[in-house]
Amino acid sequence: MDLEPPYELTLPAPRHWDRLAKQIHAQGRWDVVSHDLLASFCQLLHLSQECLDAILADGVVVAGSRSDRD
């Protein structure tokens, strides 16, 4: 069974693809799942994890904030 993504994923999204594709295949749902949507999800998951890491490391700027406590 070919569990390759439909297009090239940026690192480390292929790690998410491999994990999820194997799980979906083991559940017998590989033929009914949209591989394009799964690949997009893997990309988005990677980007959201990077964003969360940056937020946890640096914090965020809140528009309209009046002090350092906000």
Q: pLDDT of 27-69, one tens digit each?
A: 999 999 999 999 999 999 999 999 999 989 988 877 776 665 5
Q: How far is CA 25 from CA 28, 47, 67, in A?
A: 5, 24, 51
Tell me if 50 is assigned to some domain. Answer: yes
Among 51, 42, 47, CA closest to 9: 42
Give residue 11's pLDDT: 86
Tell me if 35 is assigned to some domain. Answer: yes
Tell me if 24 is assigned to some domain. Answer: yes
Tell me if 54 is assigned to some domain. Answer: yes
pLDDT digits (tens, 9 = 90+) for 2-36: 899 999 998 889 999 999 999 999 999 999 999 99
- Residue 58 in tokens: 């640096």
Tell me if 51 is assigned to some domain. Answer: yes
Tell me if 30 is assigned to some domain. Answer: yes
Tell me if 64 is assigned to some domain. Answer: no
Tell me if 33 is assigned to some domain. Answer: yes
Tell me how many domains the chain contains: 1
CB 42 within 8 A of CB 20: yes
Spatial distance between the Cα atoms of 21 and 36, rounded to a whole number of angstroms = 12
Q: What is the pTM of this model?
A: 0.78
